Structure 1
């Protein structure tokens, strides 16, 4: 039996524009979400309808949102009854510095029973699952006894304590650079070998680590799990949310030892220090121009290669930087968030506001 365009859930029929493909690339997790919420077994070759109508899709989203809220509230309630855990530097062993992904692989054979309803990641152990939930909920039960800073996961605390103690036991045998954790050394070595084993299934772009592949995939899926509690802006990575939050809190934890200026991010501090020292270690192989940041060199290289990896989903125009893409999209939707305090004229880019002739 064939179903030209029929809803798998309510069996309604209609025009194609009113239906969503269950196995489509734009919603890669839709089949899994239906299976989880409706207890239905869905596969590509089951010869049943492979679309759902938009009303059912909307109801599914409401159900998922409700489940997320329930699970989140349940985990927060359980975690709040626990006292803060204090770990002192002398209690940290070198074994604690090993990244969880560097286990001997025994856990990979275990069934992953715990699933995060926010980002769909699964876990074999409840403790790992709870630590992961902490990332989404913002709870930070692990506290540094030196500066009282709190963290949601032990590996983040251990990395932080290494900044106080200066312990970096993992050293690159090529350039002698040291790292507090083994997984960071493993990623670093790939910069020497050029190895990029992690491939994006959507655009075939390759990455040296899973850490950089995951946020790249988020650019395709549009999923931004980290949300600001103040202005509700969402981000692909937790580090992006952390830096953004400092806009509201006015926190500037990175201080320049030369002129005492403070900055909200390490990236901004390093760029600033380069103005004092003049050190620009990242050099373009084509024109020999040097830069203080590797990311700036990467953007500069696109001038030579003509690479434009950032594409507009509305008109398919491409750009060499994400900044230019965001500014371009603002022209489509008419959003102009930068407003002049003198004449009230608004602009889509901050640079346009700053360049107003006086």
Structure 2
């Protein structure tokens, strides 16, 4: 180069102007090379591959990729390069030198080409256009990589597995999954990463920096890709379509996960149990069930969670926030998924069909639980007894029967409950609220399930059949209780005596016989009762009301059960047969009393004398001989008696006396 040509470097003069674009050059040789970018001319051809170049020096450097020659060695590490310029740029990694400063921001770079690319982030310029789609790029190498998404070409193969990649850097990252290498360490925690960019993103979790702001809402993100995905939530765009079903997704990663639901692939296996997962994040969360780790602590209560998202949802229970509003009713929810499920109650949609019966469900999880009713599977076992359950939530409720825990307390009375739903029902007894109205009569109910059961009384539907007898029931709960008659199961035991009961309510009523408590008082007399239904029946003795009428005679009764027993006098039916003789009875209680005539058993003992009786009612009458009490009065004379039947006979004698002779 002569001095005149060199001086142009100092003066900035560029006398060689391109007629096809705005480029200008200080040297004629540079201008000549530039023109080849317009003509596409590449006169220097590689003999070993199809590559061609505009300059001989470029071909020479390219040949080193075939020979593997790297003549330029770094004195500070083992790196070697085929070009001196690459070594020079590499040295700056050691020295930290970044001589190329951006005029628009604080960024600095070690290479001139890097700042040139960086400036395009300010100008938005993307001069390299894809011919097959609308994508555009700042660099030619990016376009080259992008083209592989169209051709499906993946030239870089992993030697340890079947994975293949379109970019060399991708396989380099992939190899770290085999070696476990994570060279980028966080200085503030124990996290480590395979890529520097991932460490940079991770640091934002410490600093709280969220540079990417959504223009449509207040959301902000630490990554541009997350903002891009978030925007699709506003636009509803779902560009990734499943080829096997109608599902579509806004993220490529989501469709990749979705495809595993078709293939059944679960590549992430737990080392401590048989569980397997489709995502690495899921197995990480699952491991916390083994370790008991709950790193996300609520600042307002003692609750702790394995996931940050769960803590975020939990906080809404404190704030009362329910951002997802139903457009068809006043319901609101803390989660979008709950709103989606709720909408099915309006549409009636039940897309999940049982293959073994006609049942359909609005949720896949409910179908899964339903299938256990066919298989009899009960995977959740109680450690304190032999009970097993089909759902974890049932086991959790059951455990409260052992611990006696009642964490849901009523603010209006002393009642406490083990379940939030029970407290909700109880509060309606204070407010008198009955929001669920029957369309067929004037009845109203506190909860929807009771209304559903009530509707069946109108249509005569009894869906729950006993497999051991002909009984059918309106509610599944009633069937479950009925089954205990067949099994003899009485899980609710009295702590004060040997009595056992099939339901908790029966035990609760029984306990009143020990305490003597009679909380239900009659407003018309001094009578008191242990059960609400007893006072209801008692009130009818004042009003004379007998709503249950016999269709075969004029008899009427205060209770349906009494009418049922009465009907047996017409039919002659005596379903309760004695095993020790030919006697048969219309009521189970009469059979029970009869059995004592065979056994001689007299379990009801008088505390004041040696008398004993086979029936409690006989003991009660006997006690009156000690107290002198005669509660039954004749309306016609002053005669009193300890027995109701005696008064009945007395009245008959009065009637006979009034008859004409």
Is TM more than 0.5 here?
Answer: yes
Aligned to 1:108: 286
Secondary structure of the residue that 2:490 maps to in structure 1? Answer: coil
The aligned counterpart of 2:487 is 305
Taking structure 1 as the reference length, what is the TM-score of the superposition? 0.64
Q: Residues 103 and 324 (structure 1 numbering): CA distance in 2 closer, same or farther, change over 3 Å?
A: farther
Counterparts of 1:102-251 in structure 2, within 5 Å, are 105-106=282-283, 107-110=285-288, 111-114=293-296, 122-132=304-314, 139=320, 141-142=322-323, 143-151=325-333, 156-251=338-433
Give the direction of change, closer, same or farther, for the CA distance of 1:344–1:151 in structure 2 (3 Å limit).
farther
2:473 corresponds to which residue? 291
Structure 1: gaps (5+ residues): 1-89, 96-101
Measured in 2, the distance between the counterparts of 1:121 and 1:174 equals 41
The residue aligned with 2:82 is none
Larger radius of gyration: 2
Change (3 A) 1:216 1:325: same
Coordinate RMSD, CA, aligned:
3.4
TM-score normalised according to structure 2 size: 0.36
C-alpha distance in structure 1 between counterparts of 2:300 and 2:363, whole Å:
28
The answer to whether residue 529 in structure 2 is matched with residue 347 in structure 1 is yes
1:232 Cα deviation (Å)? 4.3
**Highest RCO, 1 vs 2 (Cα 8 Å, sep ≥ 6):** 1
Q: Map of 1:69-84 to 2, 5 A cutoff? A: none
The answer for the alignment partner of 1:337 in structure 2 is 519
Displacement over 6 Å in runs of 4+: 116-121
What are structure 2's unaligned runs of at least 5 residues? 1-235, 238-246, 250-275, 543-661
The structural deviation recorded for 1:187 is 0.7
Aligned to 1:12: none
Deviation at 1:169? 2.5
Deviates more, 1:198-207 or 1:335-344: 335-344
Deviations 1:159-199 (A, max 9, x none): 32221232322221222322222211111110111111111
Aligned residues: 264
Q: Secondary structure at the match of 1:355?
A: helix
Q: Using a 3 Å threshold, how does the CA distance of structure 1 residues 260 and 347 change in structure 2: closer, same or farther?
A: closer
Distance in 2 separating the partners of 1:230 and 1:224: 16
Distance 1:347 1:119 in 2: 42
| Mapped contact 1:199–1:213 kept (Cα < 8 A) | yes
Question: The residue matched to 1:301 in structure 2 has which SS?
Answer: helix
Distance 1:263 1:94 in 2: 42
Residue deviations 1:311-330 (CA, integer Å, cap 9, x gap): 22343531011111111123
**Residue aligning to 2:449:** 267
